[in-house]
Chain A
Amino acid sequence: MNLSISQKIVFGFGLILALTASLGFYVLSAFEEVRTITTKIVDQDVDFLNHLRLVRRSQDGARLCYERAVSRQLLKKAGLSTLDPQEMALAWQDARQQTEAALQRLSSSAKATVGLGGDHGQLRAKIGQAVEEMETLCVRLVREGEPTFPLILADRFAELEPRMASLDRYRDQFDAVADTAREQIQQLIELGKRAIGEAHDSARLSIGLVLGAILLLGGLSGFALRRSISGPMGRLITLVHRVGEGDLGQRAEGFGLQEFGRLAESFNQMIEGLRRVAERTREATSGLTTASNQIFAATQQQTASASEQSSSVQETTTTMQEISASGSQISERAKHVARAAESSSEASKAGLRAVQDMGAAMDAIQKQAEAVAQNIVVLSERTQTVGDIIRTVNDISEQSNLLALNAGIEAAAAGEHGRSFAVVASEMKALADQAKEATVQVQSILGEIQRGINTSVMLTEEAVKRVAAGREKSEVADTTIRSMADSIRESVTTFQQIVAATNQQQIGLEQVAQALKNIMGATAETASGTRQLEASAKVLNDLSGNLLEVVETYRL
Chain B
Amino acid sequence: MMNDCQSRGVLAADPAGILRERARRLAAWSDTLVGDRRTASVLVFGLGSEDFALPVETISEVVPFAGCTPVPRAPAEVLGVINLRGVIHPVIDLRCLLGLDAGPEEHRPAHILFLRRGRGLGLLVGQAKRIERVDIEQLLRPATDATADHHFVRGILPGSFALLDLDAALSALHGSKATTS
Please give the residue numbers on chain A whose beta carbons come within 8 Å of chain B beta carbons, in ascending order: 398-399, 402, 405-406, 408-409, 412-413, 419, 422-423, 425-427, 429-430, 433-434, 437-438, 441
Contact = CB atoms under 8 A, between A and B. Distances in A.
B10 A398 contact: no
A406 B29 CA distance: 18
A434 B4 CA distance: 9
Contact of B131 (A398, A419, A429, A437): A429
Given A408-B131, A409-B60, A412-B56, A402 B7 contact: no
A406 B62 contact: yes
B59 interface: yes
Contacts of B109: 398
Most buried by B among A412, A422, A426, A438: A412
Given A406-B62, A409-B43, A434-B7, A426 B128 contact: no
Interface of B: 4, 7-8, 10-11, 22, 25-26, 29, 33, 41, 43, 56-57, 59-64, 109, 111, 116, 128, 130-131
B62 A423 contact: no
Given A398-B109, A437-B8, A409 B29 contact: no
A437 B4 contact: yes
A285 B8 CA distance: 135
A306 B27 CA distance: 130
B128 A405 contact: yes
A426 B132 CA distance: 10
Given A412-B57, A412-B131, A419-B33, A405 B8 contact: no
Contacts of A441: 8, 11
A419 B35 CA distance: 13
A405 B29 CA distance: 16
B90 to A, nearest CB: 20
B135 to A, nearest CB: 17
B125 to A, nearest CB: 12
Nearest to B56: A412
B131 A430 contact: no
A405 B8 CA distance: 21
Contact of A413 (B22, B57, B64, B111): B57
B131 A405 contact: yes
A430 to B, nearest CB: 7
Contacts of A409: 43, 56, 59-62, 131
A423 B26 CA distance: 8
Contacts of B43: 405, 408-409
B62 A430 contact: no
Given A408-B56, A413-B57, A402 B62 contact: yes
Given A402-B111, A437-B4, A437-B10, 19 more contacts: A402-B128, A405-B62, A405-B128, A405-B130, A406-B61, A406-B62, A408-B41, A408-B131, A409-B56, A412-B56, A412-B131, A423-B29, A429-B131, A430-B22, A430-B25, A437-B7, A438-B10, A438-B11, A441-B11
Nearest to B61: A406
Contacts of B111: 402
B29 A413 contact: no
A425 B43 CA distance: 13
A419 B33 CA distance: 8
B8 A402 contact: no
